[in-house]
Structure 1
């Protein structure tokens, strides 16, 4: 979707457009917007500058400009691609994204997002250490080694997506990540590892997608579908 000059400078009118889709005749047919289990074209209230700055300070990062301005002008989360955007919120434990996922507690956001080569190397080394039953004297010792290897993945998995926010859930265990730290800062990545797929950057016509293009493209498609066009 081509951005207008107005939208290139901000998000003017976008919140109103999204909220208006609640009244569209076919709103419930837009994927992820269904009543009772989807975002229903609802948005959290925007955050204030002091709130965004406080979240950044807590995480030790600066959000990419287009995501940062979205938080300030459109909303802290809610309606968006697939099942919507996980809201950024603060409670007694500090700032976090409200999906309940360990990748969204913010503790690893300050680390650089790994290159494809480095991520592949770590995954390959981990897989090569999988215990082989024939190497153990009995089943009990094999199962103990396998449990230890499996627990190692619980520590490694979050590190493979360090430096990225888990933005939303596509369903079936698939997620979209927004990189906030390192050379890939500002780009979006598809996480399909639940189906043994690798992390892949989202791309547009000739370049990797950023948050603004991704969200506005969704809004254009959702508007057409919600009005039966």
Structure 2
């Protein structure tokens, strides 16, 4: 993945903010089309030193040129801030990223579901299936939100109902955007563009911006 020119993003967001129909865009009442200030190169270096990982280039350039969080898909981008001398991302469900293990490799390149319930066809009798299902739900309640399921994945936004999307920062899928829907039993899936190509951070963010402009600006003329 390469870096990206983010020089027009704030201007585009300002046009959206000024258009009354922009209020209808999902999540905009929260972020109000505002981006927080970018990170300095020193702050980014400090952040990456703490994480023990270099962030993918498209997201690095966004943090340095556009902003550290705010306006973005769904309820907006989680904002990265220094709190009590440590860097972290803030926002609803942002703590689903375990920063202490973010540097460990994300091992997946295809969709997976560690919380997939058993199927009745896999058992010899209804009694065996019911027993397995009860055991599954006991496991689910205690381990489904285990951050080890998403090692190496940096959650960046909350879509609602505990659905998250984030950026893989380590491993073979580094630089690609994934969905985390484990809380609704749908597991983890890589995200793709309309042409079937994997989504990196830049295309993921700009696709949202383009869709917002298509929804808002024609009716604002």
- The TM tier, using the shorter chain, reads 0.7 to 0.9
Q: By how many angstroms is 1:105 displaced?
A: 4.6
TM-score scaled by length of structure 1? 0.79
Count residues in correspondence.
Answer: 208
CA distance in 1, matches of 2:198, 2:172: 13
Give the counterpart of 2:26 among 27, 31, 47: 31
Q: Deviation at 1:91? A: 1.0
RMSD: 3.1
Q: Is the Cα–Cα contact under 8 Å of residues 106 and 152 in structure 2 kept in the other structure?
A: yes
Scaled by the length of structure 2, the TM-score of the pair is: 0.81
Correspondence for 1:103 among 89, 96, 99: 96
Distance 1:152 1:215, change over 3 A: closer
Aligned partner (choices 200, 210, 218) of residue 210 of structure 1: 200
Q: Secondary structure of 1:189's match?
A: strand
Q: Deviations over 1:107-155 (max 9, x none)?
A: 11101112268965x657xxxxxxx9979xxxxxx99xx978844555x
User: Counterpart in 2 of 1:127?
Assistant: none
Task: Report the equivalent of 2:42.
Answer: 50
| Equivalent in 82, 85, 97 of residue 90 of structure 1 | 82
| Cα distance change of structure 1 residues 150 and 81 upon mapping to structure 2, 3 Å threshold | closer
Secondary structure at the counterpart of residue 227 of structure 1: helix
Give yes or no for contact 2:33–2:71 (8 Å, CA) kept in 1: yes
Pair 1:20-2:2 in alignment: no
- Asked whether the equivalents of residues 22 and 41 of structure 1 are also in contact (C-alpha less than 8 Å), the reply is yes
Per the alignment, residue 74 of structure 1 pairs with: 66
| Aligned-partner Cα distance in 1 for 2:110–2:70 | 34
Change (3 A) 1:102 1:50: same
Distance in 1 between the 2:28 and 2:140 partners?
A: 39
- Equivalents in 1 of 2:150, 2:14: separation in Å? 32
Q: Which runs of 4+ in 1 moved over 4 A?
A: 116-120, 132-135, 146-150
97-106 vs 162-171, which moves further: 97-106
- Cα distance in 1 for partners of 2:213, 2:131 equals 58
Shift of 1:193: 1.6
State the alpha-carbon separation in 2 of the partners of residues 118 and 23 from structure 1: 39
Q: Which residue of 1 aligns with 2:120?
A: none
Q: Which runs of 5+ in 1 are unaligned?
A: 1-6, 125-131, 136-141
Separation in structure 2 between the aligned mates of residue 26 and residue 118 of structure 1, nearest angstrom: 36
1:162 aligned residue: 151
